[in-house]
């Protein structure tokens, strides 16, 4: 038996005198699953998530490999559920209810797949697992350390995912930059993974940024070189380097990076800014990165696979290039200074528009600045508005005012989660005559609590992971606008809420013309509202933006944009 196999058998042992603590789950077979590890260097926010998902898209849609991605986040939060949108962008929700980083949304959209809690790992989740095990006496009296215990848990997480997903490739994105304390043990775990699995089973791809100071007018690679030196200093040798830049870099820059990193120049790839992210998988194929990965990992060829989804992807890119009708969508929110707070909404608009020949334009409307006196001015020029999710009182009256103006002037309106609730409040006040109607989240002494907390949420004290979260089925009423758009009697959608329409007011709302066309089976939870006679006046208690995909846009977003186009 080869030495590497003997070493792997030793690693899987759990004894109190072994330094190899990295459990190998039942059914795990070394070499059956390959690993791609994507790291950063000098600065964050240069598109590792977009690049990772584009690689996954190419390997899945064109080559037919089963790819399961993982995002490592260094935060001590257990998940992303309690993070402020101003600081971290949107919280993406998976079908199993996991609240996670927005990169998981990018993975799902680009790879046209659903993922789970097994695809997202934070420092908080690792440390909680380790402390729970330590309290239960799982470490056989040992002192618990970063090496081998923390790194061992990280490797175990990946191997368990390999078994559960039966993936050909596990694609690991390590958040942050090299040198960060909070991701240092993630990087160490990846170094160990390559040592244990064998170099032919782990491919390291490093995304670095090539600076171009305006005062100089030329690219400078020294910062990237120093970042690579730090990465190599901790024992990680990149196989492929992606040089991100605003403009194309010259051959000399690639040669410098190649010499400095021991990476052949043909594996130093410049990924410069292009006009839309949907071209990136095709761009990466053109420069041959998929072929290099296949060579490095010695992946079996699957040239006979069905490439229908890949052809749909190329057709989408062609539609983007040919779209020529401009539509302006107003987004009425209170986090408008941080556009990533509404990333999934922006992407749903972006990838649905080309199917209608639309080039979308976004007009940001800050809800906290809206008054009855200026609402007309603030909404001037929009072809439709979206009122997205949110929490708390700030900006609510501005949102309600915008919804009133849209309803009275037949401007297409699309309310998502909190926007759905604001539409109920606006309709209650201004159509049903329920003066002072509100949500108990905003005013717990309102005379008309048309929105109130879900009964199962009343006794919950903690905030993290306690909302009504994840995928739930809903019924769609026949002969309604929603049924026309969906074309079916039921759907599965994703939720993230504590409050809902108060059943005591449903009869009054319906009597005055509001239609609840989507409802939860066996529960009196309203899921979709619509107002007949309008071009588009629809609200959803769920988040349709979370399940809209580039090659399968959500029908409600398509209906909304069609209405905007007609206007």
What is the residue-wise DSSP string for 39-56? EE-S-S-SSHHHHHHHHH
* Nearby residues of 528 by Cβ (< 8 Å), 6 or more positions away: 474, 476, 482, 516, 517, 518, 519, 538, 539, 540, 541
Site of tokens 């010499």 = 259
Measured over the CA atoms of residue 268, residue 271, residue 277 and residue 278, the dihedral's sign is negative
pLDDT band at 13 (very low <50, low <70, confident <90, very high): low
Q: How many angstroms separate the CA atoms of 408 and 10, rounded? A: 72
SS3 state of residue 362: strand
Query: Which pLDDT value is given to residue 417?
Result: 95
Residues 208 and 243 sit within 8 Å (Cβ to Cβ): yes
Average pLDDT rounded to a whole number, residues 59-63 = 94
In whole numbers, what is the pLDDT of the chain averaged over residues?
91
- Out of 179-188, 485-494, 495-504, 514-523, the most confident range is 485-494
Q: What is the pLDDT of residues 374-393, one digit of tens each?
A: 999 999 999 999 999 887 88
Quote the tokens at residue 124.
């908080």
Query: Which of 185-199, 291-305, 552-566 comes out lowest in average pLDDT?
Result: 291-305
Domains identified in the chain, total number: 2
Q: What is the pLDDT of residues 273-316, one digit of tens each?
A: 988 899 999 999 999 999 999 999 999 988 778 889 999 999 99
Residues 133 and 169 in one domain: yes
For the chain, give the percent of residues with pLDDT over 70.
93
* Nearby residues of 454 by Cβ (< 8 Å), 6 or more positions away: 468, 497, 498, 499, 500, 525
Q: CA triplet 242, 245, 249: central angle to 5 degrees? A: 85
The answer to whether residue 547 sits within a structural domain is yes
Out of 264, 281, 312, a domain closes at 312
Out of 312, 331, 349, a domain closes at 312
> Which residue in 197, 530, 545, 562 is the catalytic one?
545
Cβ burial, residue 399 (10 Å; 0-12/13-18/19+): buried
pLDDT band at 536 (very low <50, low <70, confident <90, very high): very high
Please confirm, yes or no, whether 543 is among the known catalytic residues.
yes
Paired with 493 in beta bridges are 472
The answer to whether residue 13 sits within a structural domain is no
Strands (E), 11-160: 34-40, 67-73, 92-93, 99-100, 120-122
> Which residue in 99, 543, 554, 562 is the catalytic one?
543
Average pLDDT rounded to a whole number, residues 250-260 = 94
The answer to whether residue 8 sits within a structural domain is no
Q: How many angstroms separate the CA atoms of 268 and 290, rounded? A: 13
Q: What is the pLDDT of residues 98-132, one digit of tens each?
A: 999 999 999 999 999 999 999 999 999 999 999 99
Residue 409 has pLDDT above 60, yes or no: yes
Query: Which pLDDT value is given to residue 467?
Result: 76
> Which residue in 100, 203, 243, 417 is the catalytic one?
417
Q: How many angstroms separate the CA atoms of 67 and 156, rounded? A: 18
SS3 string of 389-417? Answer: CCCCCCCHHHHHHHHHHHHHCCCCEEEEC
Residues 77 and 217 in one domain: yes
Task: DSSP letter for 442, please.
Answer: T
Q: At 108, which helix (H) or strand (E)?
A: helix 102-111
Residues 432 and 537 in one domain: yes
Residues 203 and 338 in one domain: no
Q: How many angstroms separate the CA atoms of 532 and 453, rounded? A: 27
Q: How many angstroms separate the CA atoms of 151 and 136, rounded? A: 19
390: left (phi over 0), alpha (psi -120 to 50) or beta: left
Cβ burial, residue 1 (10 Å; 0-12/13-18/19+): exposed
Average pLDDT rounded to a whole number, residues 210-224 = 90
pTM over 0.85: yes
The answer to whether residue 391 sits within a structural domain is yes
Please confirm, yes or no, whether 397 is among the known catalytic residues.
no
Quote the tokens at residue 247.
């403009």
Query: Which pLDDT value is given to residue 522?
Result: 76
Query: Which pLDDT value is given to residue 357?
Result: 97
Domain with 379 in it: what CATH number?
A: 3.40.50.880
Residue 326 has pLDDT above 70, yes or no: yes
Site of tokens 């905003």 = 442
The answer to whether residue 7 sits within a structural domain is no
pLDDT band at 1 (very low <50, low <70, confident <90, very high): very low
Residues 54 and 84 sit within 8 Å (Cβ to Cβ): no
Number of alpha helices (DSSP H) and beta strands (DSSP E) in the chain? 19, 21
Residues 303 and 327 in one domain: no
Residues 302 and 327 in one domain: no
Please confirm, yes or no, whether 219 is among the known catalytic residues.
no
Residues 484 and 560 in one domain: yes
Rg for the chain (alpha carbons), in Å?
26
Q: How many angstroms separate the CA atoms of 200 and 557, rounded? A: 44
Q: At 130, which helix (H) or strand (E)?
A: helix 123-135
Quote the tokens at residue 393.
């009182």
Quote the tokens at residue 239.
């196989």
Distance of CA 131 to the CA centre of its chain: 29
Quote the tokens at residue 323.
């779209």
Domain with 199 in it: what CATH number?
A: 3.40.50.300
State which residues form the domain around 332.
323-566
Residue 464 has pLDDT above 50, yes or no: yes
Residues 298 and 374 in one domain: no
Residues 279 and 404 in one domain: no
Neighbours of 522 (CB within 10 A): 7
SS3 state of residue 31: coil
Distance of CA 555 to the CA centre of its chain: 20
Residues 302 and 332 in one domain: no
Q: What is the pLDDT of residues 18-51, one digit of tens each?
A: 666 567 899 999 999 999 999 999 888 888 889 9
The answer to whether residue 12 sits within a structural domain is no
Q: How many angstroms separate the CA atoms of 30 and 477, rounded? A: 51
Out of 270, 292, 312, a domain closes at 312
């Amino acid at each position: 038996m080869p030495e590497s196999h003997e070493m792997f058998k030793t690693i899987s042992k759990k004894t109190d005198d072994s330094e190899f603590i990295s459990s190998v789950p039942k059914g795990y077979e070394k070499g059956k699953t390959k690993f791609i590890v994507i790291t950063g260097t000098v600065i964050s926010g240069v598109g590792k998530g977009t690049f990772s998902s584009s690689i996954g898209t190419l390997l899945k849609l064109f080559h037919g490999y089963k790819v399961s991605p993982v995002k490592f986040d260094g935060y001590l939060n257990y998940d992303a559920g309690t993070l402020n949108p101003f600081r971290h962008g949107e919280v993406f929700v998976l079908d199993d209810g996991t609240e996670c980083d927005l990169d998981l949304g990018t993975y799902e959209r680009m790879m046209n797949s659903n993922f789970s809690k097994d695809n997202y790992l934070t420092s908080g989740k690792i440390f909680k697992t380790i402390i729970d095990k330590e309290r239960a006496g799982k470490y056989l009296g040992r002192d618990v350390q970063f090496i081998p215990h923390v790194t061992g848990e990280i490797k175990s997480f990946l191997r368990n995912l390999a078994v559960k997903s039966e993936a050909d490739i596990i694609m690991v994105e390590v958040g942050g930059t090299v040198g960060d304390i909070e991701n240092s043990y993630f990087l160490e775990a990846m170094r160990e993974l390559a040592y244990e699995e064998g170099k032919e089973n782990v491919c390291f791809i490093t995304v670095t940024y090539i600076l171009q100071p305006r005062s100089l007018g030329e690219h400078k690679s020294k910062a990237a070189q120093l970042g690579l030196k730090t990465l190599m200093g901790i024992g990680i040798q990149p196989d492929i380097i992606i040089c991100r830049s605003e403009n194309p870099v010259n051959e000399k820059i690639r040669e410098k990076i190649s010499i400095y990193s021991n990476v052949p120049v043909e594996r130093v790839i410049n990924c410069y800014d292009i006009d839309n992210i949907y071209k990136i998988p095709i761009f990466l194929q053109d420069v041959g990165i998929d072929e290099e990965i296949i060579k490095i990992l010695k992946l079996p060829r699957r040239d006979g696979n069905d490439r229908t989804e890949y052809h749909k992807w190329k057709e989408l890119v062609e539609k983007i290039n040919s779209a020529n009708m401009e539509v302006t969508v107003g987004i009425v929110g209170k986090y408008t200074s941080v556009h990533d707070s509404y990333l999934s909404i922006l992407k749903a608009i972006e990838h649905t528009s080309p199917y209608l020949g639309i080039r979308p334009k976004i007009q940001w409307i800050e809800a906290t600045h809206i008054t009855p006196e200026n609402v007309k001015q603030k909404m001037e020029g929009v072809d439709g508005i979206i009122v997205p999710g949110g929490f708390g009182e700030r900006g609510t009256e501005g949102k309600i005012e915008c919804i009133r103006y849209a309803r009275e002037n037949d401007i297409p309106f699309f309310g998502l989660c909190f926007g759905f609730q604001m539409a109920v409040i606006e309709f209650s006040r201004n159509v049903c005559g329920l003066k002072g109607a509100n949500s108990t989240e905003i005013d717990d002494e309102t005379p008309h609590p048309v929105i109130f907390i879900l009964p199962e949420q009343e006794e919950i004290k903690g905030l993290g992971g306690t909302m009504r979260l994840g995928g739930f089925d809903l019924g769609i009423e026949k002969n309604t606008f929603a049924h026309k758009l969906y074309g079916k009697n039921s759907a599965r959608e994703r939720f993230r809420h504590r409050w809902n329409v108060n059943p005591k007011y449903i009869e009054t709302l319906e009597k005055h013309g509001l239609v609840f066309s989507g409802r939860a089976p066996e529960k009196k939870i309203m899921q979709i509202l619509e107002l007949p006679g309008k071009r588009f006046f629809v609200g959803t208690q769920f988040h349709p933006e979370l399940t809209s995909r580039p090659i399968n846009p959500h029908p409600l977003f398509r209906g909304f944009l069609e209405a905007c186009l007609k206007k």
